[in-house]
Every structure is written in structure tokens, then in C-alpha cells.
Amino acid sequence: MRNQEEVSIGGMILFVLLIANALILRAGLLNNAGWYRALYISLPLLLIVLITGMFKKPGAKP
């Protein structure tokens, strides 16, 4: 039996960005400080996803 529940694409993107940021921070802390430069791209993307999710209308489709 398949799960027919709708999944939010924005929620999945948010989850992937959170995991990516955690991995970047871990790599920067444990391996090489050069990994912190990747946060210049990943943090603004995370903020964009968070902000667009906050201003979405309650009845809008995901």
C-alpha cells in the first residue's frame, strides 16, 4: 500500500539545506576551514526558503 499523503516540496528543500549546512559546518570544524566559504551560498539559500515559507498563504498548495 502506498502513502497518498501530499509532501511539501519546500519542506524537503528546507530539510536538505539544513543537513547540507550541518555537514559544511562539521567539515569546516573537523577538516579544513576552507569549507566555511560554502556557507556563503548555502546560508542565503536557507534564508530564502525560510522566508518564502513564512509568507505563503495558508490555503495555498505546496
Confidence band of 5 (pLDDT split at 50, 70, 90): confident
Confidence band of 47 (pLDDT split at 50, 70, 90): very high
**What whole-number distance in Å separates Cα of residue 18 and Cα of residue 49?**
11
pLDDT tens digits, 23-46:
999 999 999 999 999 999 999 999
pTM score, whole prediction: 0.75
Residue 57 has a pLDDT of 65
CA gyration radius, the chain: 15
Q: Please provide the average confidence, as pLDDT, over all residues in the chain.
A: 87
Nearest to 11 by CA among 60, 53, 44: 53
Q: 24 with 39: CB under 8 angstroms?
A: yes
